[in-house]
Amino acid sequence: MSLTAEKVVTVDTARELGLLPEEFEKIKDYLGRTPNFTELSIYSVMWSEHCSYKNSISWLKTLPKDGPHMLAQAGQENAGLVAIGDGLACAFKIESHNHPSAIEPYQGAATGVGGINRDIFTMGARPVAQLNSLRFGNIHLDKTKWLLKGVVKGIGDYGNAFGVPTVGGELYFDDCYNVNPLVNAMSAGIVEVGKTISAISYGLGNPVFIVGSATGKDGIHGATFASGDLHEDSAEDLPSVQVGDPFTEKLLLEASLELIETGAVIGMQDMGAAGIICSTSEMSAKGRHGMIIRLERVPTRQKNMQAWEILLSESQERMLVVVKKGREAEVKRVFDKWDLNCVQIGEVTTGNQLKFYMEKELVADVPADSLVLGGGAPVYQREYSVPSYFYESKRFSIDSVPEPEDLKSVANFLLQHPNICSRRYVYQQYDSMVGTVNMSTNAPSDAAVVNLKNTDRAIALTVDCNSRYVYADPEQGCAIAVAEAARNIICSGAEPSAITNCLNFGNPYNKEVYWQFVNAIKGMGKACRKFRTPVTGGNVSFYNQSSDEGPVFPTPTIGMLGVLESKSHRMTLDFKKVGDSIFLIGESVNDIASSEYLYSWHKIKHSPAPYFDLDKEYKVQQVVRKLILKGLVRSAHDVSDGGLFVTLVESSMPRGLGFSIETDFDCRADAFLFGEAQGRFVVSVDESNIDTFVAELMNADVEFANLGTVNAGEMIIDEENWGKVSEVAAAYDSALEKQLS
Partner 1 sequence: MKFGVVVFPGSNCDEDMVYVLRDILRQKVVKLWHKDHDLQKCDMVILPGGFSYGDYLRSGAIARFSPIMKEVIDFANKGGYVFGVCNGFQILCEAGLVPGALLRNTSSQFICKNVHIRAAHNDSLLTSRIDSTTALNIPIAHGEGRYYTDNQTLQQLNENGQIIFRYCDAQGQVTEQSNPNGSLDNIAGVCNATKNVFGMMPHPERAADGELNNIDGKKIFESILQLVKA
Q: What SS3 class is residue 146?
A: helix
Nearest C-alpha neighbor of 475 from the set 505, 511, 517:
517
Q: How far is the CB of 638 from partner 1 (least distance, A)?
A: 22
Q: How far is the CB of 470 from partner 1 (least distance, A)?
A: 32
d(CA 722, CA 709): 15
d(CA 490, CA 436): 23
Q: What are the beta bridge partners of residue 636?
A: 683
d(CA 663, CA 685): 19
Q: What angle do CA 339, 340, 341 make, to 5 degrees?
A: 130
Q: How far is the CB of 715 from partner 1 (least distance, A)?
A: 23
Q: Which is nearer to partner 1, 140 or 453 (CB)?
A: 453
35 CB-side CA count, 13 A: 26
Q: Which is nearer to partner 1, 136 or 553 (CB)?
A: 136
CB proximity list for 711: less than 8 A, separation 6 or greater: 578, 657, 658, 659, 660
Q: Which is nearer to partner 1, 411 or 447 (CB)?
A: 447
Q: In what order do the strands lie in the sheet with 126-136?
A: 70-72, 80-85, 88-96, 182-192, 126-136, 166-173
Which position among 97, 417, 569, 637 bears the catalytic label?
97
Q: Which is nearer to partner 1, 108 or 435 (CB)?
A: 435
Nearest C-alpha neighbor of 348 from the set 208, 210, 200:
208
User: Alpha-carbon torsion 102, 106, 111, 116, what sign?
Assistant: positive
Structure letter (DSSP) for residue 63: S
d(CA 174, CA 219): 29
Nearest C-alpha neighbor of 575 from the set 518, 651, 508:
651
Q: Which is nearer to partner 1, 409 or 568 (CB)?
A: 568
Q: How far is the CB of 677 from partner 1 (least distance, A)?
A: 33
Nearest C-alpha neighbor of 556 from the set 484, 661, 641:
484
Q: What SS3 class is residue 717?
A: strand
Q: Which is nearer to partner 1, 252 or 331 (CB)?
A: 252
Q: How far is the CB of 453 from partner 1 (least distance, A)?
A: 7
Q: What SS3 class is residue 430?
A: coil
Q: Which of left, alpha, beta for 6 (phi over 0: left; psi -120 to 50: alpha)?
A: left
CA distances from 458 to 14, 129, 538, 562 (A): 50, 12, 23, 9
- Phi first, then psi, for residue 292 (nearest 5°) are -110, 125
Q: How far is the CB of 443 from partner 1 (least distance, A)?
A: 5
Annotation says 637 is catalytic: no
- Binding positions for partner 1, rule: CB under 8 A: 153, 156-157, 160-163, 245-248, 250-251, 254, 338-339, 428-436, 438-439, 441-443, 451, 453-454, 567
Annotation says 50 is catalytic: yes
Q: Which is nearer to partner 1, 55 or 438 (CB)?
A: 438
Q: How far is the CB of 424 from partner 1 (least distance, A)?
A: 8
Q: How far is the CB of 432 from partner 1 (least distance, A)?
A: 6
Q: How far is the CB of 429 from partner 1 (least distance, A)?
A: 5
Structure letter (DSSP) for residue 429: T
Q: How far is the CB of 265 from partner 1 (least distance, A)?
A: 21
Which position among 50, 69, 289, 637 bears the catalytic label?
50
Nearest C-alpha neighbor of 251 from the set 243, 259, 241, 261:
259
Q: What angle do CA 166, 117, 557 make, to 5 degrees?
A: 65
Q: What SS3 class is residue 221?
A: coil
* The one-letter amino acid at 403: E
Cβ contact 476:612 at 8 Å: yes
Q: Which is nearer to partner 1, 422 or 678 (CB)?
A: 422
User: Alpha-carbon torsion 706, 712, 713, 716, what sign?
Assistant: negative
CB proximity list for 166: less than 8 A, separation 6 or greater: 129, 130, 131, 132, 155, 156, 159, 427, 430, 431, 432
- Phi first, then psi, for residue 387 (nearest 5°) are -75, 150
Q: Which is nearer to partner 1, 528 or 736 (CB)?
A: 736
Q: How far is the CB of 331 from partner 1 (least distance, A)?
A: 18
Q: Which is nearer to partner 1, 247 or 389 (CB)?
A: 247
Q: How far is the CB of 125 from partner 1 (least distance, A)?
A: 16
Q: In what order do the strands lie in the sheet with 635-638?
A: 635-638, 681-685, 581-585, 704-711, 658-661, 714-717, 720-724
* Residues constituting the chain: 741
Q: Which is nearer to partner 1, 567 or 602 (CB)?
A: 567
Please name the helix (run of DSSP H) or strand (run of DSSP E) that holds residue 436, with its range, or none.
none
Q: Which is nearer to partner 1, 320 or 439 (CB)?
A: 439
Catalytic residue ranges = 50, 97
